[in-house]
Amino acid sequence: MKPHPLPLILAAAAIILSSAHADPRGEFRPSSARKVTTAKLPNVAGLLPNQTFTTASDIIIIGDLDNYFTGNGLTYSVTVAGDAVATFFFDSRNVLSLIPAGSAGTATMTVTATDDSQKFVQAAFTVTVAASHDSGYRLTKNG
């Protein structure tokens, strides 16, 4: 049985493509080979949860973005579409948190994870903030 004229060899995240020609005796000789390196793209590893809270809420911790995205040397950015219901920040461990902006409404926040080769992936979640009927006083338990 003759081997397939275009063998495909996968090894160590690289693809080796090789073509072969048949000589008159039916033997195959590689005529050219080239190595195509494939980069591992960033990936969404989990869905970012939608958030619902009130204007009187404190800091809302969304979570460590490294648990939601995979890739090499990821950096994160956030864009907001819709109402200005919350501001966001990251800490040094890539934990995303929100602070209510004081107004009710809904916004879509899109997190972009960019790897060290500038490839990126995005995931969005919805933030809904309801008006609070808080009198401004908080009850605390002493002791």
List, in sequence order, every residue forming a beta bridge with 34; answer none if it has no partner: 17
Question: Which pLDDT belongs to residue 24?
Answer: 54
Other CB atoms within 10 A of residue 86 CB: 25
At residue 67, φ and ψ (nearest 5 deg) are -85, -15
> What region, left, alpha or beta, does residue 80 occupy, with left being phi > 0 and alpha being psi -120 to 50 degrees?
beta
Residues 82-120: pLDDT tens digits? 888 888 998 889 999 998 888 899 999 999 999 989 999
Q: Which helix (H) or strand (E) holds 90?
A: strand 86-90
Query: Under a CB-based contact definition with an 8 Å cutoff, are residues 98 and 87 in contact?
Result: yes
Question: Which pLDDT belongs to residue 19?
Answer: 38
Residues 40-66: pLDDT tens digits? 677 887 788 899 998 888 888 888 998
Which comes out higher in pLDDT, residue 19 or 68? 68
Provide the pLDDT confidence category of residue 3 given band limits of 50, 70 and 90: very low
As a whole number of angstroms, the distance between CA 29 and CA 20 comes to 5
Structure-token pair, residue 70: 């995979």
Domain assignments of the chain as residue spans, ordered by start: 8-37, 43-130
Superfamily name and number for 43-130: Immunoglobulins (2.60.40.10)
Question: Which pLDDT belongs to residue 128?
Answer: 92
Other CB atoms within 10 A of residue 79 CB: 11
Task: Give the strands of the sheet with 28-37, arranged side by side.
Answer: 8-11, 14-22, 28-37
Question: Which pLDDT belongs to residue 36?
Answer: 45
